[in-house]
Amino acid sequence: MEDYNKIIESLGVKFIKARNIRILQPITIKNFYDVENTLLILYNGEVSIGEEKIKVEVGDMLFIPGGKHVTVTYGDPTNAKGVSNEEFMTHREAYWEGNHDPKLIGHLPNSFGYVSFEAKVFDSVNFFNSLDVPPFIIKREDHLANTIDQILAEEMTDLAGKGRIIKIKTEEIVIEVVRYILKNRLFVEQLVTNSTYFKDPRLIDIFAYIKENLGGDLSNKVLANVANVSEDYVGQYFKMLTGINPQDYIEYQRMEAAVGLLRTSKKSIRAIGAEVGYKDTAYFCRRFKMMFGIPAGKMRRRESLMNV
């Protein structure tokens, strides 16, 4: 348990968004993908996960780690329209309607609430994704449910200290999700296997270097010098501890940074691609579409669409 306490202490948690949504028509998103973690609570109606349409019961929560492709159905699965992630992002207002009245949270038909957030170890490694935690359902955790409700209500107000309260409550959510995993002994093998690398200082140095140099040379030769291991060994070393090869990890970090820039800046797609390490804009756009299922330009529209 002491090891998990150290990991939790090292986590950097960042609130991204919170919404209360009413489902307008049933849909199945076949390749849903997001870089952020999402915790959803079902208030009324139906939500299911996976090709098997595993149901989330009313009052239960669905946790979807960032970086995982997953099939999600909102509404009655027998009548759900199948849509791609791109179609959903482009025409979200046809499927969802946002509630902005805190008094209606939990009282609308066919509705759910969700909070999206980052949780990074040493401010560089996506915690849940790195542990290979799959999407899972959280059964009847009243404290966690109340925390989501409080974040949703705060997000709908303009009171003093709103941002601070949301930050604190989001950190609570992360801790409660970790506690639920440990208490119910979920994903034991993944946790034991994949948490070991958090203790390796050479690997942490590599993570930190990658984060600070996304736009530069991140070849295995450079990473080998950072970790003080041979160039021939660094790829094997990285994969042995993390389960993925370093270049795949670097691409994910670059694309995640690109999403952040698309969300928060007005820089051109060419400039964003170059900033995260892609000199060829066309190649950057192809890789972006392959990873997220939508073009970079449509991802830029995502935040305004989230306000439906």
Residue 297 predicted with pLDDT over 50? yes
Amino acid present at 293? G
Token digits for 291?
A: 């990873």
> Please, are residues 199 and 146 in contact by the beta-carbon 8 Å criterion?
no
Which helix (H) or strand (E) covers residue 22, if one does?
strand 11-23
Q: Are residues 160 and 293 in the same domain?
A: no
pLDDT digits (tens, 9 = 90+) for 166-220: 999 999 999 999 999 989 988 877 676 666 666 788 888 898 899 899 999 999 9
Long-range CB pairs of 299-304 (<8 Å, 24+ gap) are 299/89, 299/259, 299/262, 300/262, 300/263, 300/269, 301/89, 301/90, 302/89, 302/262, 302/263, 303/263
Q: Are residues 143 and 239 in the same domain?
A: no
Domain total in the chain: 2
Q: Is 141 helix (H, G, I), strand (E, B) or coil?
A: coil
Q: Is 51 helix (H, G, I), strand (E, B) or coil?
A: coil
Residue 304 placed within a domain: no
Residue 207 placed within a domain: yes
Domain that holds residue 236: 200-299
Indicate which CATH number applies to the domain containing 247: 1.10.10.60
Q: At what angle do helices 220-227 and 201-212 cross, to 10 degrees?
A: 130
Residue 116 predicted with pLDDT over 70? yes
Q: Are residues 60 and 141 in the same domain?
A: yes
Q: What is the pLDDT of residue 301?
A: 66
Q: What is the pLDDT of residue 302?
A: 58
Query: pTM, whole model, 2 decimals?
Result: 0.82
Token digits for 154?
A: 């705060």
Residues 234-249, mean pLDDT to the nearest whole number: 87
Q: Are residues 172 and 237 in the same domain?
A: no
Closest C-alpha among 152, 105, 141, 117 to residue 35: 117
Compute CA 136 distance to the chain's CA centroid, rounded to the nearest angstrom.
14
pLDDT digits (tens, 9 = 90+) for 126-154: 888 877 889 999 998 999 999 999 999 99
Q: What is the rounded distance in angstroms from the CA atom of residue 175 to the CA atom of residue 13?
A: 10
